[in-house]
A and B are shown apart, each in its own frame.
Chain A
């Protein structure tokens, strides 16, 4: 009597195993979320290339297009920054940062960094992502820091994006419309 039942065991287990294997190899469907920042949210600040301390620089805005810029001509990378604080949920994983910017400066560019530091420190910060506009283009452009994997820990760390221009005599040629941070 037992022998026929034993023969059924493989038939019982086969569909179980097949479905379990399919279940285990199915990618977890983690939905990406996006966190948008207005260009206006950038706080004008100084950079270490040229300053130790001092008043923040002038900023200017294009009104109908909502595009903010550092309003100081002939600035080099690292002189001035628009700094954007990131406020993401704990354990979020930052997977990408895109910026929509204007670069109508034929000889200039905008450089963007994603940075972090322990919130209760005086460290300068660690760069965990970066992207720069094409020096040749004079147009609105979307730039992308590429594939990132930064896990947010708000208990220990603060995060921000900083954008610094290398401009010419017309600083308004380089401005920030908005930023999109993608995270899981």
Chain B
């Protein structure tokens, strides 16, 4: 009888742990695509963040002003292209300003802009800037690109390659776009902006899971 009982339960005793191990391994593979709370894993290398041209905040530049009301903006409707609606403005007088919100430790690799430059004499200049968030600094330039004034067309310009590590504890980041206008300000406008960044070292959650500190993650369960 003793032998029979052993023989009866032997297959279950052997196979159940095996299958459970396979199950856990499968779940582990699933977690590679999703984080512990089910959100997408953003730690894969290349990530992209887009901005609509509409998101540009119209502001004054120090080239022409100390302070004052913000300038008017306008849009091309079907193409979703925003511009500073002030004719004959030189570079640095007015800006469309786009705040950049990226995860801590993201590394900005590139900033590309899709623009219209139909002004034969003017250009659009774009600058990636940062400053200490609790300061009155004007900002430090991290990247730069401009259109050429030789052609009249839609253009994609790029600041890359960049290598700027995001430190949100200390700094704020933004992209400035300033036009060099003629009498038709709508000749220079912004369709959209794309920021490419590396998120391999990003810290996305306070529990430290993305940093590899799985002990901290388990402690929160």
Residue numbers of A with Cβ under 8 A of B are 8, 11-12, 14-16, 19-20, 23, 28-33, 43, 45-48, 51-56, 83, 85, 87, 89-92, 117, 119-125, 154-155, 157-160
User: How far apart sit A121 and B79, CA to CA, in the bound complex (Å)?
Assistant: 8
**Distance, CA A43 to CA B80, complexed state (A):** 12
CB-contact partner of A20 in B19, B48, B76, B79, under 8 A: B19
With known contacts A30-B38, A43-B55, A52–B80 Cβ distance under 8 A: no
In the complex, the answer to whether A33 meets B39 with C-beta atoms within 8 Å is yes
A47 — nearest CB in chain B belongs to which residue? Answer: B77
Give Cα A164–Cα B36 distance, bound, in whole angstroms: 38
A45 and B75 in contact (CB under 8 A), knowing A30-B34, A85-B55? yes
Query: Is B62 interfacial (CB-CB < 8 Å)?
Result: no
- Name the interface size band of chain B: 35 or more
Counting from the closest, the 7 A-B pairs by CB-CB distance are: A31-B38, A154-B48, A122-B79, A120-B114, A89-B40, A158-B50, A19-B19
- Report the Cα distance A157→B49, complex, angstroms: 10
Distance of A92 Cα from B50 Cα, bound (Å): 15
Question: Does chain A have a CB within 8 A of B74?
Answer: yes
* CB-based contact A23/B26 at 8 Å: yes
- From DSSP, what is the main secondary structure of chain B's interface residues? mixed
Q: What's the minimum C-beta distance from B147 to chain A, rounded to whole angstroms?
A: 14
Ordered by A's residue number, 9 sampled pairs between the chains whose C-beta atoms are within 8 Å are: A15-B15, A51-B77, A83-B54, A90-B47, A91-B40, A122-B79, A157-B50, A158-B50, A158-B192
Q: Which residues of A are found within 8 Å of B38, using beta-carbon distances?
A: 29-33
How long is the Cα–Cα vector from A56 to B46 in the complex, in angstroms? 35
B164 to chain A, nearest CB (A): 19
Say yes or no: is B18 at the interface (Cβ < 8 Å to chain A): yes
Q: Are A92 and B40 in touch, CB under 8 angstroms?
A: yes
